[in-house]
Amino acid sequence: AHGKTKPRLIACEGSFHGRTLGSLALTHTPKYREPFLPLIDVEFVPFGDAAALARIMRDDVAAVFLEPVQGESGVQVPPPGYLRAVRELCTRHGSLFVADEVQTGIGRTGAMFAYQHEDVKPDVLCLAKALGGGVPIGAVVMTEAVAALLKPGLHGTTFGGNQLACAAALAVLEVVTQPGFLERVSAHGAQLQAGLRRIFPEALAVRGQGLLIGVQLPSDPAAIIRAGFDHGVVVGPAGGNVIRLAPPLTISGEEIDELCARLAAAKAAV
């Protein structure tokens, strides 16, 4: 809407926003973007570095896009105060703050949305993954002011507004908003991080928020991840030799103990 006066888009190094044209343009990782060049122009700044963003912010920036915790690049948690600084810069320059919470939203980090850990509000919020509890649904949530820029019919999709998917999302929200649910996610995250530190004393870092956890190992974790499958544990790789764990938010304390025991056995089998 402000294309002429605000042509610039900013995203973060290490970002992953998806593989469709717009989100791929915002994705920093060369292996995803390079096969599809040319893409929309996006400027990238180091993630977690508010001073670097401040140096390039001007009133011609339409929007700043970021993941409050970067997932694909290895579960990177920004330093305290970063999201607040981004919010302030965006407000000062009349730019939109777009939080991609596809991976972190709906309870994953122990808050409904990860931006709440810093008590800030984005102008636009992207949701998917946990929102459907396994049923495919995504949502873009925005302030009234941003929504006013979108007239009915401007955006649409064949499966948008699907009743089955919306019913699944409502069921998920009913569970996640139950009293104590998010506190349990945080407590279980702490329990899992402690277990992982015991299993991987050689880890360069065990970090995360809530039940989104990364174990950064000194070398490629592929063999351990493969052995995990043989022991009934599904974990995935992320950037920088990281094993990423994102278990169901409904996992119990006993199940975390079992997960740790199985992961320890998988590691021993490598």
Ligand X SMILES: Cc1ncc(COP(=O)(O)O)c(C=O)c1O
Interface residues toward ligand X, by CB under 6 A = 16-18, 67, 71-72, 100, 102-103, 128
Which is nearest to 63 in space by CA: 102, 18, 22, 95?
95
* d(C-alpha 69, C-alpha 73), whole Å: 10
For ligand X, which is the closer residue by CB, 72 or 123? 72
Please report, as a single letter, which amino acid is at residue 265: A
- Which residue in the list 100, 113, 123, 200 is annotated as catalytic? 100
Answer yes or no: 16 catalytic. yes
Closer Cβ to ligand X, 12 or 176, answer by number: 12
Comparing CB distances to ligand X, the nearer of 101 and 266 is 101
Cis peptide before 179 (omega within 30 of 0): no
* Residue 83 exposed, middle or buried by CB count within 10 Å (0-12, 13-18, 19+): buried
200 is an active site residue: no
Inter-CA distances, 238 with 50, 58, 225, Å: 24, 33, 11
Q: Closest approach of Cβ 201 to ligand X, in Å?
A: 29
15 vs 193 by CB, closer to ligand X: 15
Which of the following is catalytic: 47, 113, 129, 200? 129
Q: Is 129 designated active site? A: yes
Record the tokens describing residue 101, joined without a space.
């919470």
Closest approach of Cβ 148 to ligand X, in Å?
25
- Minimum CB separation from ligand X for residue 208, in Å? 14
* CA diameter of the chain: 59
Q: How far is the CB of 27 from ligand X (least distance, A)?
A: 8
Distances (CA, A) of 135 to 26, 55, 62, 113: 25, 41, 32, 19
- Out of 6, 16, 47, 123, pick the active-site residue: 16
| Residues acting as catalytic residues | 16, 100, 129
